């Protein structure tokens, strides 16, 4: 599948390479834009599937543009969008959500993500992310 080749796949907690990639992301400036509470949740997933195009995280390695399995968790700050290639709405939600960090769980029957949690970026998020990095670096996560 050509779509799978576009995604980076990480399996948290499984080997050094994957831990290194997650640690590299968390230590980067880009992670400062992700609420630390969301990062703390993501690093505890058994499987972390990150979009190469944005800061969207999934707990399912089978996620593609055209396929989302029932129960897939997504944490992102953008929802209900369409690509230039087609007019299909992607990451469709059960409630109106725009430009807010939220967690959704995919409902295959309704073909939408049920939004179950919202995350706030705190004023000291950068400092909190650095603290998270230090905790993870000193642990065996």
116 Cβ contact list (under 8 Å, min separation 6): 103, 104, 105
Residue 12: left (phi > 0), alpha (psi -120 to 50), or beta? beta
| Residue whose tokens read 């050509």 | 2
- What share of residues in the chain are helix, strand, coil (percent, to 5)? 30, 20, 50
Mean pLDDT of the chain: 83
Question: The pTM is what?
Answer: 0.83
Question: Where are the domains positioned within the chain?
Answer: 2-126
Q: How far apart are CA 119 and CA 5, in angstroms?
A: 30
**pLDDT for the residue 82:** 87
Q: What is the pLDDT of residues 21-70, one digit of tens each?
A: 777 888 887 788 999 999 999 988 888 888 877 889 999 888 887 889 99
């Amino acid at each position: 599948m050509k779509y799978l080749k576009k995604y980076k796949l990480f399996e948290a907690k499984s080997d050094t390479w994957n831990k290194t990639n997650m640690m590299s992301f968390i230590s980067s400036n880009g992670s400062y834009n992700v609420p630390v509470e969301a990062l703390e949740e993501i690093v505890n997933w058994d499987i972390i599937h990150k979009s190469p195009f944005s800061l969207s995280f999934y707990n399912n390695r089978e996620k593609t543009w055209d396929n989302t399995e029932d129960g897939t968790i997504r944490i992102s700050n953008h929802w209900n969008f369409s690509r230039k290639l087609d007019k299909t709405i992607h990451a469709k939600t059960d409630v109106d959500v725009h430009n807010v960090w939220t967690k959704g769980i995919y409902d295959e029957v309704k073909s939408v993500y049920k939004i179950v949690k919202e995350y706030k970026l705190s004023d000291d998020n950068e400092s909190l992310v650095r603290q998270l990095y230090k905790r993870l670096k000193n642990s065996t996560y």
